[in-house]
Amino acid sequence: MNFDLTPEQREIWLWAKEFADKEIAPRVEENDHKAEFDFDLLKKIGGQGFFGAILPEKYGGQGIDHIAYALMTEEIARVCSSTRTLFSVQISLVEKPILHYGTEAQKEKYLPKMATGEMIGCFGLTEPGAGSDAVNQATTCKQDGDYWILNGQKTWISNGSIADVAIVMAQADSSKGSRGICAFLVDTKTEGFSARYIKPKLGLHSSDTSELFLDNVRVHKDQMLGGYGEGFKVAMYSLDQGRFSVAAGAVGVIQGCLDISTQYAMEREAFDQKIGEFQMVQQMIAEMSMNAEAGRLLVLRAADKKDKGVRNTRETSMAKLFCGDMAQKAAYNAVQIFGGYGFSEEYPAARYYRDARVLTLYEGTSQIHNLILAQDELGIRPANGKNAPSNPVDRLSSQELLSV
């Protein structure tokens, strides 16, 4: 196994790091306190070509691999989880499903404009009564000639109020369960479509989170993403992509907590010495460092499989579970290291603490990912499909391991 970055991957990583430090970081605290979405920052991100990171050049993209994409995502999250959410949803939950399931006409219509940020997307799966239970879609679609009529409500939709296009899951035939779900590309200016911004929230204050309402929304049959009854497949594919970006973002949160904690620990004094000289503080710093490295390796393992075109539901789920949980722990420890100041909104530890909480909720709760991994190990439901090897060395025998 080669853990070295290629020159291109390293260049992209440094490019994202510089942009995050110069363009995102100076805006973070003000945007968070105002709880406002930063449209000017959106334009800057689009102008840099970040939104086209993984798209092929024929659609206006950069054509980078998933390892470089993970590093970009990590660097953005290191300074701002709200901005990382915008970035991740645009790429992982909207562009990638269109690229994978879309017709050529759909790709040409949406992807070039999404690559520049001229067009923003959102992903409409979660409903008031259907979160982890994604099959239980109450939103309906009924065919009417060349059109489908959509009715229903979606909630907790990132980018919902600012989106130009929404991928919407709807049930065409409830008797078919998951095989009755269809996915549609819905232009948000379509009559009957509306959005309501959800405010206030515990964290991600400058991220747009909304409810979507569909009241007899007419969508042409050419706007169906995938075939009839393939909506659940589209949703599961999309979640694999979204979970990957959340995991990479969680590594950024751990790294961000480590950065602010080490700096503060060597500035703050107590009992006539730097608090970083106390062993209990050092233990928390050591845990953050270890978990950042471990989480990063899990993410890059999943990225490597994605780049090889190998199914990676298990690896992505493991990365999302571990990194999300450890990001919460890192944020908790950052507040501890800052002490009373960690409880103040004047210091970044409080924001990291609030923003980290959602990492164990969206794109599958930690409990759902524990279930996925446990069922995979028990052979009840192999995460990567039938007869798929499941551990990091692909189930090599002891003798084979000795020869590696």
Identify the band that residue 338 occupies on the pLDDT scale cut at 50, 70 and 90. Answer: very high
Catalytic residue among 104, 277, 363, 377: 363
Q: Please give the average per-residue pLDDT across 162-167, as a whole number.
A: 98
DSSP labels, 92-127: IIIIHHHHHH--HHHHHHHHHHHHHTSS-EEEE--B
| C-beta pairs of 354-358 under 8 Å, 24+ apart in sequence | 354/202, 354/203, 354/204, 354/205, 355/81, 355/82, 355/203, 355/204, 355/253, 355/331, 356/81, 356/203, 356/250, 356/253, 356/327, 356/328, 356/330, 356/331, 357/202, 357/203, 357/328, 358/202, 358/203, 358/204
One domain, residues 246 and 371: yes
Q: What CATH number does the domain containing 114 carry?
A: 1.10.540.10
One domain, residues 385 and 260: yes
One domain, residues 188 and 277: no
**pLDDT tens by residue, 295-336:** 999 999 999 999 999 999 999 999 999 999 999 999 999 999
One domain, residues 107 and 250: no
Q: Please give the average per-residue pLDDT across 242-254, as a whole number.
A: 98
Given 230, 258, 275, which residue is the final one in a domain? 230
**pLDDT tens by residue, 133-162:** 888 999 999 999 999 999 999 999 999 999
Q: Please give the average per-residue pLDDT across 82-107, as a whole number.
A: 98
Given this model, what pLDDT does residue 79 score?
A: 98
Q: For the chain, how far is it from start to end, CA to CA, in angstroms?
A: 9
Q: What CATH number does the domain containing 147 carry?
A: 2.40.110.10
For residue 254, pLDDT over 50 is answered with yes
**pLDDT tens by residue, 257-300:** 999 999 999 999 999 999 999 999 999 999 999 999 999 999 99
For residue 396, pLDDT over 60 is answered with no
Given 215, 230, 245, which residue is the final one in a domain? 230
For residue 392, pLDDT over 60 is answered with no
Six-digit token string for 332: 């908790």
One domain, residues 148 and 296: no
Q: What CATH number does the domain containing 352 carry?
A: 1.20.140.10
For residue 401, pLDDT over 50 is answered with no
Given this model, what pLDDT does residue 64 score?
A: 97
Query: Is 137 among the domain residues?
Result: yes
One domain, residues 335 and 309: yes
Yes or no: say if 78 and 255 are a contact pair by the CB < 8 Å rule. Answer: yes
Residue 263 burial (CB count, 10 A): 11
285-287-291-293 Cα dihedral, nearest 10 degrees = 60
One domain, residues 94 and 190: no
One domain, residues 153 and 249: no
One domain, residues 149 and 208: yes
For residue 18, pLDDT over 80 is answered with yes
For residue 356, pLDDT over 80 is answered with yes
Given this model, what pLDDT does residue 134 score?
A: 83
Identify the band that residue 394 occupies on the pLDDT scale cut at 50, 70 and 90. Answer: low
Q: Please give the average per-residue pLDDT across 369-390, as a whole number.
A: 89
For residue 346, pLDDT over 50 is answered with yes
Number of domains making up the chain: 3
Identify the band that residue 398 occupies on the pLDDT scale cut at 50, 70 and 90. Answer: very low
Residues 6+ apart with CB under 8 A from 149: 141, 142, 143, 216, 217, 218, 219
Query: Is 101 among the domain residues?
Result: yes
Distance CA(206)–CA(262), nearest Å, equals 26
Identify the band that residue 397 occupies on the pLDDT scale cut at 50, 70 and 90. Answer: very low
Given this model, what pLDDT does residue 133 score?
A: 83
Mean residue pLDDT across the chain = 95
One domain, residues 270 and 380: yes
Given this model, what pLDDT does residue 403 score?
A: 46
Sign of the alpha-carbon dihedral angle for 13, 243, 235, 193: negative
Domain span at 113: 7-120
Distance CA(81)–CA(209), nearest Å, equals 13
- Written as one letter, the residue type at 269 is E
Distance CA(167)–CA(231), nearest Å, equals 10
Query: Is 399 among the domain residues?
Result: no
One domain, residues 240 and 386: yes
Catalytic residue flag (residue 346): no
Q: What's CA 27's distance to the chain center, in Å?
A: 21
Query: Is 70 among the domain residues?
Result: yes
Residues 6+ apart with CB under 8 A from 357: 202, 203, 328
For residue 387, pLDDT over 90 is answered with no
Query: Is 46 among the domain residues?
Result: yes
Quick one: the chain helix, strand, coil %, rounded to 5? 55, 15, 30
Given this model, what pLDDT does residue 1 score?
A: 65
Six-digit token string for 72: 């970009």
Given 120, 146, 171, which residue is the final one in a domain? 120
**pLDDT tens by residue, 40-58:** 999 999 999 999 999 999 9
Distance CA(137)–CA(135), nearest Å, equals 6
> Is residue 154 helix, strand or coil?
strand
Query: Is 403 among the domain residues?
Result: no
Query: Is 398 among the domain residues?
Result: no
Identify the band that residue 389 occupies on the pLDDT scale cut at 50, 70 and 90. Answer: low
One domain, residues 311 and 340: yes
Given this model, what pLDDT does residue 3 score?
A: 81
**Percentage of residues of the chain with pLDDT beyond 70:** 96
**Percentage of residues of the chain with pLDDT beyond 90:** 92
**pLDDT tens by residue, 95-125:** 999 999 999 999 999 999 999 999 999 999 9
- Written as one letter, the residue type at 4 is D
Query: Is 112 among the domain residues?
Result: yes
